Structure 1
Amino acid sequence: MNDNPFAPPRDHSGSDTESTATSETATVRVHDEAPATNDTVELPPAISPQRPAAEPAAAETTAVLPTQSFAQPEDPATQAYLPPVEPPAETPSTAAAPQPGRLRRSTVAAVAAGALVLGLGGGLAGAWAYDSLAGDSSSTASSSTAGGTSTLPTSSSSTIARTDENTVAAIASAVMPSVVSIQNIQGGQEAAEGSGFIIREDGYILTNNHVVEGSDNDTVTVVMSDGSEHEGEVVGATADYDLAVVKIDEEGLTPLVLGDSDELVVGDDVIAVGSPLGLESTVTTGIVSALHRPVTAGDTSSTAFIDAIQTDAAINPGNSGGPLINSEGEVIGINSAIASLGSSSETAGSVGLGFAITSNQARRTAEEIIATGEATYPVVGVMLDSSYTGEGVKVAETDGAVAEGGPAALAGVQPGDIITAIDGRPITRSEELIVAIRAKASDDTVVLTVDRGGSTQDISVTLVPNTDVSYGDSGEEDQGGLGGDGGQLFPDPSE
């Protein structure tokens, strides 16, 4: 019986060959400022400390059958009824006739042997069919990358083999060498420490924006799992998604695979790897507690809107930027924030409510940063009324609230419209609409369910990058979630 919760069905084909898992490690870090708008906080920075007898088998018993005695009795009167002392040589010995209703022993043996042959054949055929189906499924999954032109590793290059080695211990051992610690240097001193992980063999590392934010000359110190240190250059970062890419001058590294976070379901097993509170190579486990949690993190000047994965795997300050791993050894989230019972992020710790950026979002953003050094986010081109308290969210009834020539305007959205759902998902708060849109890619089409004067209609809107939208005569680009006015996310109509 396989007691491993992460292992797939065993292959009973008799193969002795198994892939050997390789290792990796992760670390995480967070902002030191508490979010102003909700009870989730970015993990505060982790201040780096000074480096200082089987039972014996039952004995086999042999039954000794009594032998027939040919001794002659002393009474001669009975002698005529006894067999001869020795049977005649010409008389063949015959086996006892089988009793009615019972099988011969030879028949039972033949039946048992036949059953074993059939069972073995069935097992081999079943194993072959499972391997064929699993191989087809793996091939299909590995071919469905974002945009079809990803430069990051796909699931076909996972460092974990789909075997009975998919245990927590095997997965942790395999991912640890690809997880790094990132030290944010400010004023020549280490200000804080977070985590990251290798995403390309030529030295690209993914982490959180707040892990590298404010570093001197956009450089950080990257500490590998073997203790070696490298200078890392911040290639680009975005506070809107709380993601950043760092590059070190190394080749031939082992990258972690960004899996398909759209395939997650609540209850899936996950593993978090990182350096909470400076404790390198820490592994915690849990499950996916919820999906599509609208999480805002950061301060008012750099607020990240995250369509987050919620997990009960322990995540603490120092875990930020580290990977959240699924049972196949693939990254399905980037640990970024936690819910806190306290009012200060400095005293925040795990209460079983951690949040991670989805791997699909991270892949799109990382690809864009590597290619251009910057990252955009998709918008529909409207501003929302923060004073509205009814059902859904309301498009502000102010001049320029619907950007002229923007996606919403072209689709027919009007000031005062109330948006009650996106792609069939009900909307009750502004943050829910913002993170749902930011989880998409530019050129994606979403369906907004709109209530206008008591009449409901669905409006299809094709998203565009925030750099393509401006409001009124200000000429400013979109700076908010659906639209912006130079930084105020949800302006009141009077503003």
Structure 2
Amino acid sequence: MTDETRPTDGRTPSDLSEPQGRPEFLPANDGWESARTEQLGWNASEQRPQPYGSGWGDPSGRPTGDTAIHSGPDYGPPSAPPPPPPGAAVGMGPGWGPPPPPAEGSPSHGRRGPNTGVLVALGVVIALLASVMGSVGTYLLTRPSASSTDPSYSLGPAPTGDTSRPPESVAGVASRVLPGVVSLEVEGASDAGTGSGFLIKGGYVVTNNHVVALAAQGGDIKIVFNNRKSTTARIVGRDPGSDLAVVKPEETFGTPEITLGNSDQVVVGDPVIAIGSPLGLTGTVTTGIVSSLNRPVVAGEDNDPDPAYISAIQTDAAINPGNSGGPLVNAKGEVVGVNSAIATLSRAISSQSGSIGLGFAIPINQARRVAEEIITTGAAKRVKIGIVLDSRYRGEGVRIATEPTQGRQPVDSDGPAGKAGLKPGDIILELNGLRIQDSTELISLIRSKSPGTKIAIKYKRGTEERMASLTVTAEAEPTPRPS
């Protein structure tokens, strides 16, 4: 304990060696006097009030029962009240004093945040914890629980039954026709392709000319049968004008020949089945109906000097590249057409585009005649009526040219048309009662006929319509196209 009087400048009177309960203060900048002035809210220009009466108070705010109070001189009028404590301070008793200034070299009491290294370490720890917790959560959510499985669960055995189908069903027809359908793999000098075909009497295979044309100049043909056995083949003959060809495989492995039907008995709406190897997928079966008859189709490249003119059977059965040369059969399993071309959205006819439900097949009656002629003579006969058409005409029907074209007269006087009385400038309106729309349709219809077939033609001369009957003939000598 102490009861001595102490100066008031720079020190705080106290009789406690270790004050208790002292609040924290910021360190002084220029001495504790200025800090005390600012903390107490006094104006430095005013007279600082002094304690009076009983002397110094205990800065700890504790009762002063055990502390001697030194009576000192009065520093102000007796009636002057003691200075009020600051608003933000905690009262420490009457006459409390400010804390002593910090000693030089003492550590600062200001709070500092964690350094960068601590923050980085903390972030890594948090990320690791988040990753672990996420993995654990995922496992807990996705792990099979005991309640999600049923060891006794069963869907039961598959039903049993007979795989045979009625002969008139699609499956029944396909089972009979598929063995006679083959796939052709053709390699030329610089290109290759695939197609389809079907076996006819004598071990010959009927297909499209554009399928085997790559091998016409020394290429190779490989035929794969439905039983996956294969052999090489040679070209017997081909007819670009009808897009038909016949090849002869070295071996048939006992494959049955296919049955040919009568395309003249086909009507619109008849169900049909297309079988072939689209995109190399052998033994593909698609179904549809006969969408139209006598559809004029020109098959071949744009610069082909001798394109194929086909009066085709139109079908919506899917026909794709690779189907070419395959059979189109009726509900009896008889071949009624040879799949040859498809239409594209650009209105071009090509065998190199996907199906949009517009497929075209060569009538089997025409294919039968061409195949017989190729096998017997090596080439097919080109039928004609002996006229040259006016390609510039855009009116109704088709007009016979009025002037010679490339050395040919508009009407061959010794040909079927000349003998029937047709003359240059006549306009052909109908053939066998079918209204003619353009020259492509007329050429396709005439080429689909066999030599010696009689046809009826309605034509217009001036303003008068007339009828003529004529018999189509073949060119004097067909041009052989052997392999």
- What does residue 417 of structure 2 align with? 408
Equivalence for 2:360? 355
Structure 2 CA distance for aligned equivalents of residues 218 and 404 of structure 1: 43
Q: Secondary structure at the match of 2:362?
A: strand
1:320 and 1:314 mapped to 2: Cα distance? 12
Deviation digits for residues 280-338 of structure 1, max 9, x if unmatched?
11111111111110111102323111110000001100100000111001111100000
Q: Which residue of 2 aligns with 1:394?
A: 399
Q: Report the counterpart of residue 247 of structure 1 in structure 2.
A: 248
Aligned length: 308
Partner SS for 2:428: strand
Q: Is the 8 A contact 2:268 2:292 kept in 1?
A: yes
Separation in 1 of the partners of 2:414 and 2:352?
47
Shift of 1:230: 1.2
CA distance in 1, matches of 2:434, 2:475: 23
Asked if structure 1 preserves the Cα contact closer than 8 Å seen for 2:311 and 2:448, the reply is: yes
Q: Check if 1:279 corresponds to 2:288.
A: no
| Aligned residue in 2 for 1:463 | 472
Q: CA shift at 1:227, angstroms?
A: 1.6
**One of 170, 174, 182 as aligned partner of 1:168:** 170
Q: Corresponding residue for 2:52?
A: none
Measure the CA separation in 2 of the matches of 1:447 and 1:453: 20
Q: State whether residues 275 and 326 of structure 2, in contact with CA within 8 Å, keep that contact through their aligned partners in structure 1.
A: yes
Aligned to 2:226: 225
Distance in 2 between residues matched to 1:190 and 1:298, nearest whole Å: 17
CA distance in 2, matches of 1:211, 1:340: 19
Cα drift, residue 429 of structure 1? 0.7
Mark the CA change 1:450 to 1:210 in structure 2 (over 3 Å): closer, same or farther: same
1:113-124 mapped onto 2 (5 Å cutoff): none
Asked if the contact 1:288/1:311 (under 8 Å) is kept, the reply is yes
Give unpaired runs (5+ residues) of structure 2: 1-155, 157-164
Give the C-alpha shift of residue 438 in structure 1.
1.1
AA aligned opposite 1:264:
V
CA separation of 1:449/1:218 partners in 2, compared to 1, >3 Å: closer, same or farther?
Answer: farther
Report the Cα offset of residue 190 of structure 1.
6.6
Q: Which amino acid aligns with 1:210?
A: H
- The offset of 1:196, in angstroms, is 0.3
1:349-369: CA deviation from partner (whole Å, max 9, x where unpaired)? 100000000111111111111
The 2-side partners of 1:178 and 1:461 are apart by 39
Q: Are 1:258 and 1:332, in contact at CA under 8 Å, matched by a contact in 2?
A: yes
Question: How far off its partner does 1:377 sit?
Answer: 2.2
Q: Is the 8 A contact 1:219 1:231 kept in 2?
A: yes
1:337 aligns with 2:341: yes
Partners of 2:476 and 2:220 lie apart in 1 by 27
C-alpha distance in 1 between matches for 2:225 and 2:352: 28
Match of 2:292 among 290, 302, 321: 290
Kindly indicate whether residue 307 of structure 2 is the aligned counterpart of residue 323 of structure 1: no
Could you tell me how far 1:218 is from its partner in structure 2?
6.1
Q: Secondary structure at the match of 2:331?
A: coil
Instruction: Return the alpha-carbon distance in structure 1 between the equivalents of residues 345 and 327 of structure 2.
Output: 24
| Structure index of larger Rg | 2
Listed as ranges, the matches of 1:250-269 within 5 Å are 250=251, 252-269=254-271
Larger mean Cα displacement after TM superposition, 363-372 or 165-174? 165-174
What's the CA shift for 1:179?
Answer: 0.6
Structure 1 position 433, deviation (Å): 0.9
Q: Secondary structure at the match of 1:213?
A: helix
C-alpha displacement of 1:468: 6.3
Q: Match for 1:249: what amino acid?
A: E
1:347, distance to aligned residue in structure 2 (A): 6.4
Q: Distance in 2 between matches of 1:394 and 1:231?
A: 48
The answer (yes or no) to whether the contact 1:218–1:234 under 8 Å persists in 2 is no
**CA–CA distance in structure 2, aligned partners of residues 226 and 165 of structure 1:** 21
Unaligned runs of 5+ in 1: 1-52, 54-162, 470-476, 478-495
For the 8 Å contact 1:377–1:441, the answer to whether it is kept is no
Matches within 5 A, 1:27-426: 164-187=166-189, 191-200=192-201, 202-215=202-215, 216-217=217-218, 219-250=220-251, 252-299=254-301, 300-342=304-346, 348-399=353-404, 400-426=409-435
Q: CA contact under 8 A between 2:191 and 2:214: conserved in structure 1?
A: no
Contact 2:341 2:351 survives alignment (8 Å): no
CA RMSD of aligned residues (A): 2.2
Deviation at 1:219, TM superposition (A): 4.5
Structure-1-length-normalised TM-score: 0.59
Aligned to 1:456, the other structure's residue is in SS state strand
Change (3 A) 1:250 1:346: closer
Partner Cα separation in structure 2 for residue 177 and residue 293 of structure 1: 30
Q: How high is the sequence identity, in percent, across the aligned residues? A: 49
TM-score (norm 2): 0.61
Instruction: Select the structure with the greater relative contact order (CA < 8 A; seq sep ≥ 6).
Output: 1
CA 346–457 in structure 1, closer or farther in 2 if over 3 Å, else same: closer
